[in-house]
Amino acid sequence: MITEVPGVQVGHWTDADSRTGCTVVLFPAGTVASGEVRGGAPGTREWDLLAPERTVVRIDAVVLAGGSAFGLAACDGVMRWCEERGIGISTPAGPVPIVVGAVLYDLLVGDPAVRPTAESGYAACVAARDGDVAMGQVGAGTGATVGKWRGPDHARPGGVASVSLRQGDLVVAAIMAVNAFGDLRPPQPADRPEAGTTTPVGLNTTIGVVATNATLDKVGCLLVAQSGHDGMARALEPAHSTVDGDAIVAASVGGVQAPLDQVRLLAARVVEGAIRAALGAR
């Protein structure tokens, strides 16, 4: 689980009746991050700050939320929770938390009038912990579905899951909320989607976070995020479609020296594993 990375905490807010929710990943001070979007229909907040050429290096939290673009409001609650605790970049007017958000579309699954709000994001922070955290159809995965390439009548539940791998002192872990247009990539080509099997609809997206205790700069984190997308493509087919908003943040809490390519190898594996775990397969 991603909470095995030192200092990382995860919390959910879930509305089981309306089938939506949000998940917050909180990071310790000094965490460095970057990220990459490969889907054609993303919904994100503060993503430009993750680019290696941008001045800001730290990250304080990542919000994964349902509710489509409306769900980005959950980030406001996370900002407030962090500000109350003095978390963020120091400025003359006080700390400014660095909170990055990504959303998925779940509005047709439950009540489309109910979406994660600022209060939802705050509640997820209050619930955050560094031990075992519930996974499945909770938080950002509450209303997630997959397999929509076959048509809406063939969609099945998605969810959120986390997987970690260790090699010596190195820990690399991922948490993924899976709401894909595609489905698990089957082993036999005959079972895979054919081009043009259904009309794509922008009601999808797989989003997540890779975290590690390897000491990386922003360029290294970007490369780890890219490898995370390799894991996504191993697990889902089709992946990164024009109607998915697929996005991954990669974060380094530091403390362990490890070859970048070793971290990238493990990043691809944990993303693939988290996606398969979210869909009930490993």
Instruction: Provide the residue ranges of all domains of the chain, joining segments of one domain with +.
Output: 2-278
pTM: 0.93
Mean pLDDT of the chain: 92
Average pLDDT of the residues in 179-191: 74
243 pLDDT band, cuts 50/70/90, is confident
Q: For 156-176, what is each residue's pLDDT tens digit? A: 899 999 999 999 999 999 999
pLDDT tops 90 at residue 203: no
Cα–Cα distance for residue pair 246/250, rounded to 1 Å? 14
How many other CB atoms sit within 10 Å of the CB of residue 96? 16
Cα–Cα distance for residue pair 187/221, rounded to 1 Å? 30
Closest listed residue to residue 173, CA positions, set 123, 135, 200, 120:
135
Structure tokens at 146: 């997959």
What pLDDT shows up at residue 150? Answer: 72
Q: C-alpha angle with apex 49: 63 to 257, nearest 5 degrees?
A: 85
Task: Decide if 219 contacts 34 (C-beta within 8 A).
Answer: yes
Cα–Cα distance for residue pair 86/97, rounded to 1 Å? 8
CATH number of 2-278: 3.60.70.12
Least reliable range by pLDDT among 96-100, 133-137, 145-149, 174-178: 145-149
Burial (0-12, 13-18, 19+ Cβ within 10 Å), 46: middle
Cα–Cα distance for residue pair 13/65, rounded to 1 Å? 9
pLDDT tops 80 at residue 196: no
Least reliable range by pLDDT among 17-26, 122-131, 237-246: 237-246
What pLDDT shows up at residue 282? Answer: 42
Burial (0-12, 13-18, 19+ Cβ within 10 Å), 191: exposed
Q: At what angle do helices 118-127 and 74-84 cross, to 10 degrees?
A: 50
What pLDDT shows up at residue 247? Answer: 97
CA 268 vs. chain centroid, Å, equals: 14
Q: For 250-267, what is each residue's pLDDT tens digit? A: 999 999 999 999 999 999
For residue 119, give the amino acid letter: E
Q: For 57-80, what is each residue's pLDDT tens digit? A: 999 999 999 999 999 999 999 999
Q: Which residues contact 46 (CB under 8 A, 6 or more apart)?
A: 75, 98, 99, 100, 101
What pLDDT shows up at residue 187? Answer: 54
Structure tokens at 202: 């922008």
